[in-house]
Amino acid sequence: MPVEITWWGHATCTLEDSNVRVLTDPLFARRLAHLRRRRGAVPPAEAHRADLALVSHLHADHLHLPSLAALTAGTRLLVPRDAPRAVPGLRRLRHLRLTEVAPGDRVRVGELLVRAVPARHDGRRLPVGPHRSPALGYVVEGEARTYFAGDTGLFDAMVEWVGPVDVALLPVGGWGPYLGEGHLDPGRAAQALARLRPRVAVPVHYGTYWPIGMDAVRPHEFHAPGDEFVRLAAEAAPQVAVHKLGHGESVRLEVAR
């Protein structure tokens, strides 16, 4: 059975594997605080439908309460451990089936096994609040093994935690003119590919949101990361097939173990 991945923009993807729809870091907003969506239409209602939604960390562009509220009733939602304490609004989402997870936890949904893995990222609900919840990535195991990295920098135990994977959804940029600590830029994402050696990679987390009034400030940081990642990945990990998707575009993958 083929596996299908749709990129809706930023870190939001739909993964269809083993007749289960998985949604990553749902963000359906046209505007979020000082950010506005500059590329790609706001995802349609179809994108709100999922059997399982994964939240990687507590930053508002990854744990976005209005977008989570738009998910269909009964959706299983995995969030980092203690997220409801740090973000009390999660408790109001009673139409969702919420489960808190930490690195090493495993959750089965239909034919899928989902593993929570660490991420090197400050996952607090900034700008205030203690560091109560870990930043996570997830490995979704079904017909394929798909790694959704969330937001992360490189870390020594990445390969040990993630393990062999077929597909890697890797962040390659951000939403502002500079990337802080705990992020992958195109070069570091290419290094991650060389370590993980998946069969397929899809770059995400770039080219969607940009601060209002900063259109002319370092625009290459907004436009270039996808193409730069394709170029650097070909050098660092030529065995990996990279699919750079447009907003709303999908790729179907035949995965043979």
- Side chain identity at 237, as an amino acid letter? A
Phi, psi of 175 (to 5 degrees): -125, 10
Cα-trace Rg, the chain: 17
CA distance 214 to 32: 15
CA 252-253-257 angle, to 5 degrees, is 160
Domain boundaries, the chain: 3-246
Going by their DSSP bridges, the two strands 112-118 and 106-109 should be labelled as antiparallel
Among 111-115, 131-135, 232-236, the range scoring the smallest mean pLDDT is 131-135
The SS3 call for residue 206 is coil
Give pLDDT, residue 105. Answer: 98
pLDDT over threshold 90, residue 148: yes
Single pTM value for the model: 0.95
Q: Give the largest CA-CA distance in the chain.
A: 48
The residues, any chain, with a CB within 8 Å of residue 64's CB and separated by 6 or more, are 26, 27, 28, 29, 32
CA distance 64 to 59: 8
Supply the mean pLDDT for the chain: 93
Within 10 A of 206 (CB to CB), how many other CB atoms are there?
26
Among 79-83, 113-117, 215-219, the range scoring the smallest mean pLDDT is 215-219
Q: Dihedral sign, CA of 106, 119, 73, 202?
A: negative
- Side chain identity at 171, as an amino acid letter? P
pLDDT over threshold 90, residue 130: no
- Could you read off the pLDDT of 161-188 as tens digits, one per residue? 999 999 999 999 988 766 777 889 999 9
Q: Do the beta carbons of residue 54 and residue 148 sit within 8 Å? A: yes
Lay out the sheet containing 112-118: strands in order across: 106-109, 112-118, 136-141, 145-148, 167-171, 200-204, 241-242
User: What superfamily would CATH give domain 3-246?
Assistant: Ribonuclease Z/Hydroxyacylglutathione hydrolase-like (3.60.15.10)
Q: Do the beta carbons of residue 61 and residue 35 sit within 8 Å? A: yes
Phi, psi of 5 (to 5 degrees): -125, 130
Give pLDDT, residue 44. Answer: 96
Q: Do the beta carbons of residue 197 and residue 245 sit within 8 Å? A: no
| Tokens coding 31 | 């505007």
% of the chain beyond a pLDDT of 70: 94
CA distance 189 to 152: 10
% of the chain beyond a pLDDT of 90: 82
Confidence of residue 1 (pLDDT cuts 50, 70, 90): low
Q: How far from each other are the two terminal CA atoms of the chain, in whole angstroms?
A: 12
CA distance 79 to 92: 14
The residues, any chain, with a CB within 8 Å of residue 40's CB and separated by 6 or more, are 8, 9, 208, 246, 247, 248
- Could you read off the pLDDT of 200-226 as tens digits, one per residue? 999 999 999 999 887 777 777 777 999
Instruction: Output DSSP code: residue 88.
Output: G
Give pLDDT, residue 27. Answer: 98
